[in-house]
């Protein structure tokens, strides 16, 4: 049975520092994903061959990350469904591994809040 507390999504009450860390983690996550798809191959002379291949549509997690970024930058309270919470947990965990010292404690606190909601 669905948890009534989460019918319209879990609400994360994030302060400015927490929003900043989540924003930085999202940008890093998206940057890494777009770098993977846009780097030229060694055998293409440095230019992608657009005549033979269509550009892949941004699907799955990068698209969900973009939606999350839009929601974070919006004025409405941040409400996340289970999939979005899992994505936030994943990208914050990745960010924490190489985060600047100033962001680590804040990142851990947001991760704890996400885990509580899951």
**Would you kindly state where each structural domain of the chain is located, as residue ranges?**
13-38+61-117
Q: For 31-67, what is each residue's pLDDT tens digit?
A: 988 865 555 555 555 555 554 444 444 456 888 999 9
- The counts of H helices and E strands in the chain are 4, 2
The rounded percent of the chain whose pLDDT value lies above 70 is 71
- What the block records as the tokens of 53 is 């291949």
CB 91 within 8 A of CB 25: yes
Residue at token pair 């289970």? 82
Q: For 4-22, what is each residue's pLDDT tens digit?
A: 455 678 888 899 999 999 9
Q: Which helix (H) or strand (E) holds 93?
A: helix 82-98
- The Cα 98–Cα 65 span in angstroms is 19
Q: For 59-93, what is each residue's pLDDT tens digit?
A: 568 889 999 999 999 888 889 999 999 999 999 99
- The Cα 68–Cα 6 span in angstroms is 17
Phi, psi (rounded to 5 degrees) for 80? -125, 135
């Amino acid at each position: 049975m669905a948890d009534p507390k989460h019918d319209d999504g879990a609400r994360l009450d994030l302060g400015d520092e927490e929003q900043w860390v989540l924003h930085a983690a999202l940008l890093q996550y998206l940057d890494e994903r777009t770098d993977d798809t846009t780097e030229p191959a060694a055998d293409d002379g440095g230019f992608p061959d657009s005549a033979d291949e269509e550009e892949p549509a941004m699907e799955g997690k990068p698209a969900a990350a973009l939606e999350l970024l839009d929601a974070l930058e919006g004025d409405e309270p941040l409400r996340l469904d289970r999939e979005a919470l899992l994505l936030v947990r994943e990208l914050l965990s990745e960010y924490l591994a190489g985060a600047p010292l100033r962001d680590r404690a804040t990142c851990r606190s947001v991760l704890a809040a996400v885990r509580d909601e899951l």
